[in-house]
Structure 1
Amino acid sequence: MIIIKGLIMAGGKGTRLKPLTCSLPKPMVPIMNKPVMEYSIELLKKHGITEIAVTLAYMPTEITDYFGNGEKWGVNLHYFIEDEPLGTGGSVKNAESFIDDTLIIISGDALTDLDIQTAIDYHREKESKATLVLRNEEVPIEYGVVITDDRGKIRRFLEKPSWGEVFSNTINTGIYILEPEVLDYYNRGDKFDFSKDLFPKLLKDQVPMYGYVMEGYWCDIGDLNSYKQTHFDILDDKVEIKLDAKYLAKGSWIGEGTHMGEGVKIVPPIYIGRNCRIKDNVVLDQYTVIGDDCIIGKDSSMKRSILWEGTSLGEQVEARGAVICHRAIIKNKVELLENAVIGDFTHLAEGVVVKPDIKIWPSKKITENTIVNQNLIWGTKASKILFGYRNISGEINLDINPEFASRVGASYSTSIQGDTTLVVSSDDSNGANLVQNALISGIQSTGSQAIQLQGAVMPMARYAVQYFRADGGIHVATDRKNPNKITIEFLDEKGGNISRSKERDVENLFSRDDFKRCNGEQVKKVIYVNEFKSFFIKDGLKEFKNTSNIKKNNFKIILSSYAKNGVEVTGELLEEMGCHVEYHHPKGKEKMMDFHIASLAKEVMEEGAFLGVFLSETGEELMLVDEKGRIIGQENYSALAVLLQLKSGVKDPIILPHTAPRVTEEMARGYEVEVIRTKSDPSNILKEMLQEKEFGGKVALQYLLSYNAVWAIGWIVDFLGNLNTTLGELVDELPQMYFLKREISCDWRDKGRVMREIIEEYSQGNVELFEGVKINDDRGWTLILPDSERPLFNIYAEGYTEEFAEELSSSFTEKLKTLIGK
């Protein structure tokens, strides 16, 4: 047997597990009728590790009172309590008086059956100073991803990556084997984390650090879904642990002293604790877990539900996918529906119905025949992911109702420190206005100031944040393809999209209902701004050099869009400049978009127009038609925007997403202008474009051309008029691009594995891992990028010739299909 020391990190609060953790620290939450930390102690003891340190922070006495000195489990427990949070590394350093040899660190709130002996052997064989226990995870974005070479040596860390950064499905389990000297990088009392602080330093100093990929079971009990799934995995015999009950045939465990009435029906697998009373005709369906000393009244039924110790269910109770905590009393004919959670000591009177996903905090009393359809007192959303690619979206009064929007508004306001002012804008639809008002109510409830704009498009919302010097903004827009669907987009203080870290802050506050609240005297009146459009147009005109030439030529512009607000404001701006504006009104569904654009192009040629414009529904993007009827699509327009900035003489760096064609970058370098590559999400792009741009100063030209289609059209017309040239002549200057984009469907669970296998296969080639996997060769490049919102991969390919681009795109499409098929 191995002789080393163990350390259990047991300081977690378990915020996402509430209400399970309202009166318990996370390591004390029961799994199969005993605290999850108890399994960690038993695992260490099984492998001969009896000297164990335990780091504590939250409700430490709950743990020390239960485990004492560890004698009951045949181990010696040594407790180290943090007065304030020190991070994962800091909490271990706090126990440095205990650490004098190789140390295995294990979490007190995760369940695993890791073969510790094999992991230690690996650590010693590699002469590693720090070995991280890793595991292959199907959907790795909520974990820290670790990249290793073919010998297991660690090369890179990614903490909770976006899908574009998922270069492997190998995650950090938080189990570490360390030699004592690696902790010398910090002093006792320092706040530091292993993943963010210590391990990157070890990597930089080339300290031997390896990853051991475990084969057994591991689950972080991080939320209610994983909490329930762990029980189901144990019942399915996926975890090698010992249960304190007698095993009966067909996958049933029943503890001593439990009495069964007549006609009880058991559908395995199930687990029943000690001294329970199961009355007549009860149905215990699959994946039912019952703690010690519980009572189940006659004719009741349970399925995929978990009862903690001392809970009492009356007659004809139905529990479906519910969790019921310590000593709750559930009276007759109560219905507990999917994902309902009932806190400790809560009393539900007869006939109560608890709707799906509802959480009831401890010690509540619910009167007879009440239908509980909102959380009491705090809420926890079943899904902890609110944001998609760049916004929150859903159907009105299904996914996004006024209560939801109010909580979202309060969450965003709370995430911003200090005295906060937020611009809240929307288009003119009734649904968007409903959600806008609910968002404002949530903001007001935190004591923050709300400025309301209606009839706005996205560029107006971004500009309003700058104009009013607000701390951020929220824009609500209706999806024209589905009038019942809306999007809610969040802006930072510069008008750019908020970062992923800020999104996580909002998600965490939302999931905990952890909002600032103010009293009545602190509620601020809403500032209503009518006709902000006039300010937007007036300030847009200041960006143009000389409109006199335009008025003299009376350029004819044909304007088209599905966005009514966008067309109105753009038309007014162009007319104010002196253009003659005609309107092309597209009708029908998006699948007819190509027809609408072709119709616009035909009209431009027939009318002899200066140019045609198709404005996106957000008002941010555009497609152009030149005087020859040629359509400049989004990819070519992006290159055109770069060329316009270069020819204007503006020397600001050109910001290009990682997905942009290389020829665009070469064009910029030909003008001796710096190019900055960013990740392709709007938050990163806008952050670079808006960097150090203050209100009242010159608007960043590339931002104007890329994210403010209203002003962009005016600027382009002004630029062409002053040069006495046409759009077509400028388009002729664009370099030839051989660029293709394809999409390949892929189950979410396979994305990380496929990325890892791609990297492994091409590890000897010219590969970039900035965002996705970019593979360069003598034909061009291919970028494989997992989609952040949909179950698919995006494949971008640029070749030096059209044939090379098609060859690259086709070959990697087939490669991905083969890997996905595995």
Structure 2
Amino acid sequence: MKGLILSGGAGTRLRPITHTSAKQLVPVANKPILFYGIEDMAAAGITEIGIIVGATAPEIEMAVGDGSDFGVSITYLTQDEPLGLAHCVLIAQEFLGDDDFVMYLGDNMLQQGLDGFIDRWRTMHADSRPPSLDVSNRSNSGPAAQILLTPVPEPHRFGVAELDAAGHVVRLVEKPEDPPSDLALVGVYLFSSAIHEAVAAIEPSDRGELEITDAIQWLIDHDVPVHHDLLDGWWLDTGKKDPLLESNRRVLESIEPRIDGDVDENSTVDGRVVIEAGARLINAEVRGPAIIGRGSTITSSYIGPFTAIAANCEVIDSEIDQSVIMEGARILSVPRLTDSLLGRDTEVVRSTRRPHATRVMLGDHSAVELA
């Protein structure tokens, strides 16, 4: 089995962060989102992974490399335009060959990992023939696709599955105005090589994209088995600020506390906290779950729960909680910063200039909430 991770999106919903950084490399608990998917595949025994890349390819290739740090082999596959998830399968066909594969959206976060999902696929195929589009050869055939579903409060924002009375998938609809159920497709799919005929057969949607829901529907319409699993645990699409911060909170809840950096006698560390090597606390309080990255200095400040401070940051005379602070940021004399996402090398300071005022320089698509 091979892996296919989609990492070519522009990340427009996370601008201005993604003007200068791939959305899949924005950190959650000080680790790029993309790394979680690669690690999940490696943990499930998948060692050959293709990554679909677009305009941010150089940055992603520099961060991931050849995959050896993860115990896998990485092949980069270029998608020149964002033409849909099924289009990603189309351009990856040579890499995938006739192998089964798991497809993973590179900006998604799953609590449950991939092991159980893949184990059930393998069990269903253990005593069956390969999935076939030939009706006469379909006896004892395993599924050609396995999708992961979860109930959501706003199904019109997702691809949605409709099940019959027996629990079989009978229809998939992409972002329907009138959803047939509340069961959304999570961004993880398992396919046999039968999917290649499906993606070659469908036409672009009204959005101008080849939809993976249409390709799976094509299989259903041709009586090819499509199975589903219900998600166990949480799933978040980190493409917007609030879900990204929620992912950060969820991951920080599971970290193992350790102190590899320097904590002076006037500082306190409480709860599930990681202080990475080279980080320093000087007259500071850190209350977990939280992580302080290597080379960062926290002076006369309070770092509250669910905060991730990346490497080489400086925080002085400030209070921060429920936030993701990316590498090289400086926060000086800020009385309270919460629910925030700060990009690399940003600076937030309280000015002593007169007249006292709020002074900002903001890029396109920025957002500021003032106390």
Fold match by TM threshold 0.5 = yes
**Alignment check: 8 A CA contact 2:202 2:218 kept:** no
5+ residue gaps, structure 2: 126-141, 261-268
Instruction: Give the AA of the match of 2:148.
Output: V
Instruction: Give the AA of the match of 1:379.
Output: H
Instruction: Give the AA of the match of 1:376.
Output: L
**Alignment check: 8 A CA contact 1:122 1:212 kept:** no
5+ residue gaps, structure 1: 334-349, 353-366, 383-822
Equivalent of 1:260 in 276, 281, 284: 281
Instruction: Give the AA of the match of 2:298.
Output: I
In the TM superposition, what whole-angstrom CA distance separates every residue of 1:762-786 from its partner, at most 9, and x where no partner exists?
A: xxxxxxxxxxxxxxxxxxxxxxxxx
Equivalent of 2:121 in 120, 123, 137: 123
The 1:142–1:244 alpha-carbon spacing in structure 2 relative to 1, beyond 3 Å, is farther
Q: Give 1:68 deviation, angstroms.
A: 1.4
Q: Give 1:193 deviation, angstroms.
A: 2.8
Matched, 1:198 2:215: yes
Match of 2:231 in 1: 214
The 1:139–1:85 alpha-carbon spacing in structure 2 relative to 1, beyond 3 Å, is closer
Equivalent of 1:94 in 78, 91, 94: 91
**Alignment check: 8 A CA contact 1:157 1:195 kept:** no
Q: Name the SS of the counterpart of 2:81 in structure 1.
A: coil
Matched, 1:10 2:25: no
In the TM superposition, what whole-angstrom CA distance separates every residue of 1:659-689 from its partner, at most 9, and x where no partner exists?
A: xxxxxxxxxxxxxxxxxxxxxxxxxxxxxxx
In the TM superposition, what whole-angstrom CA distance separates every residue of 1:111-143 from its partner, at most 9, and x where no partner exists?
A: 113342321233342721011111222333321
Matched, 1:284 2:303: yes
Matched, 1:27 2:27: no
State how far apart, in whole Å, the 1-side matches of 2:201 and 2:259 are. 47
Matched, 1:60 2:57: yes
The 1:283–1:47 alpha-carbon spacing in structure 2 relative to 1, beyond 3 Å, is same
Match of 1:323 in 2: 341
State how far apart, in whole Å, the 2-side matches of 1:193 and 1:228 are. 30
State how far apart, in whole Å, the 2-side matches of 1:236 and 1:79 are. 33
The 1:151–1:369 alpha-carbon spacing in structure 2 relative to 1, beyond 3 Å, is farther
Instruction: Give the AA of the match of 1:5.
Output: K
The 1:315–1:180 alpha-carbon spacing in structure 2 relative to 1, beyond 3 Å, is same
Q: Name the SS of the counterpart of 1:266 in structure 2.
A: strand
State how far apart, in whole Å, the 1-side matches of 2:270 and 2:358 are. 39
State how far apart, in whole Å, the 2-side matches of 1:200 and 1:189 are. 10
State how far apart, in whole Å, the 2-side matches of 1:68 and 1:179 are. 27
**Alignment check: 8 A CA contact 2:270 2:287 kept:** no
In the TM superposition, what whole-angstrom CA distance separates every residue of 1:505-563 from its partner, at most 9, and x where no partner exists?
A: xxxxxxxxxxxxxxxxxxxxxxxxxxxxxxxxxxxxxxxxxxxxxxxxxxxxxxxxxxx
In the TM superposition, what whole-angstrom CA distance separates every residue of 1:598-617 from its partner, at most 9, and x where no partner exists?
A: xxxxxxxxxxxxxxxxxxxx
Q: Name the SS of the counterpart of 1:97 in structure 2.
A: helix
Match of 2:129 in 1: none
Match of 2:102 in 1: 104
User: RMSD between aligned alpha carbons?
Assistant: 2.8
The 1:212–1:138 alpha-carbon spacing in structure 2 relative to 1, beyond 3 Å, is same
Match of 1:301 in 2: 319
Match of 1:139 in 2: 154
**Alignment check: 8 A CA contact 2:295 2:313 kept:** yes
Equivalent of 1:42 in 39, 45, 58: 39
Match of 2:163 in 1: 148
Percent sequence identity is 26
Instruction: Give the AA of the match of 1:199.
Output: I
State how far apart, in whole Å, the 2-side matches of 1:82 and 1:21 are. 18
Q: Which has the larger radius of gyration?
A: 1
State how far apart, in whole Å, the 2-side matches of 1:180 and 1:316 are. 55
Give runs of aligned pairs for residues 407-806 of structure 1, distance below 5 A.
none
State how far apart, in whole Å, the 2-side matches of 1:370 and 1:51 are. 55
**Alignment check: 8 A CA contact 1:94 1:189 kept:** no
**Alignment check: 8 A CA contact 2:6 2:52 kept:** yes
TM-score by length of 1: 0.39
State how far apart, in whole Å, the 1-side matches of 2:43 and 2:60 are. 21
Q: Give 1:316 deviation, angstroms.
A: 4.7
**Alignment check: 8 A CA contact 1:244 1:255 kept:** no
Match of 1:70 in 2: 67
Q: Name the SS of the counterpart of 2:5 in structure 1.
A: strand
Equivalent of 2:173 in 146, 158, 163: 158
Match of 1:312 in 2: 330
Match of 1:371 in 2: 358
**Alignment check: 8 A CA contact 2:173 2:213 kept:** no
State how far apart, in whole Å, the 2-side matches of 1:368 and 1:217 are. 48
State how far apart, in whole Å, the 2-side matches of 1:246 and 1:304 are. 21
Match of 1:85 in 2: 82
More helix by share: 1
Q: Name the SS of the counterpart of 2:149 in structure 1.
A: strand
The 1:149–1:307 alpha-carbon spacing in structure 2 relative to 1, beyond 3 Å, is same
Q: Name the SS of the counterpart of 2:18 in structure 1.
A: coil
The 1:235–1:167 alpha-carbon spacing in structure 2 relative to 1, beyond 3 Å, is same
Q: Give 1:246 deviation, angstroms.
A: 4.9
In the TM superposition, what whole-angstrom CA distance separates every residue of 1:683-728 from its partner, at most 9, and x where no partner exists?
A: xxxxxxxxxxxxxxxxxxxxxxxxxxxxxxxxxxxxxxxxxxxxxx
State how far apart, in whole Å, the 1-side matches of 2:225 and 2:216 are. 11
Instruction: Give the AA of the match of 2:336.
Output: E
**Alignment check: 8 A CA contact 1:69 1:77 kept:** yes
**Alignment check: 8 A CA contact 2:34 2:107 kept:** yes
**Alignment check: 8 A CA contact 1:93 1:189 kept:** no
State how far apart, in whole Å, the 2-side matches of 1:24 and 1:321 are. 20
Q: Give 1:46 deviation, angstroms.
A: 0.9
In the TM superposition, what whole-angstrom CA distance separates every residue of 1:410-440 from its partner, at most 9, and x where no partner exists?
A: xxxxxxxxxxxxxxxxxxxxxxxxxxxxxxx
In the TM superposition, what whole-angstrom CA distance separates every residue of 1:636-657 from its partner, at most 9, and x where no partner exists?
A: xxxxxxxxxxxxxxxxxxxxxx
Q: Name the SS of the counterpart of 2:35 in structure 1.
A: helix
Equivalent of 1:230 in 230, 247, 252: 247
Q: Give 1:169 deviation, angstroms.
A: 2.4
Q: Give 1:218 deviation, angstroms.
A: 1.5
Instruction: Give the AA of the match of 1:233.
Output: R
State how far apart, in whole Å, the 2-side matches of 1:129 and 1:37 are. 26
Q: Give 1:73 deviation, angstroms.
A: 1.2
Instruction: Give the AA of the match of 2:275.
Output: I
Match of 1:812 in 2: none
State how far apart, in whole Å, the 2-side matches of 1:28 and 1:128 are. 33
Q: Give 1:153 deviation, angstroms.
A: 2.2
Number of residue-to-residue matches in the alignment: 338
**Alignment check: 8 A CA contact 2:159 2:172 kept:** yes
Match of 1:181 in 2: 194
**Alignment check: 8 A CA contact 1:269 1:288 kept:** yes
Instruction: Give the AA of the match of 1:261.
Output: I
Q: Give 1:371 deviation, angstroms.
A: 2.5
State how far apart, in whole Å, the 2-side matches of 1:62 and 1:36 are. 14
**Alignment check: 8 A CA contact 1:45 1:74 kept:** yes
The 1:226–1:152 alpha-carbon spacing in structure 2 relative to 1, beyond 3 Å, is same
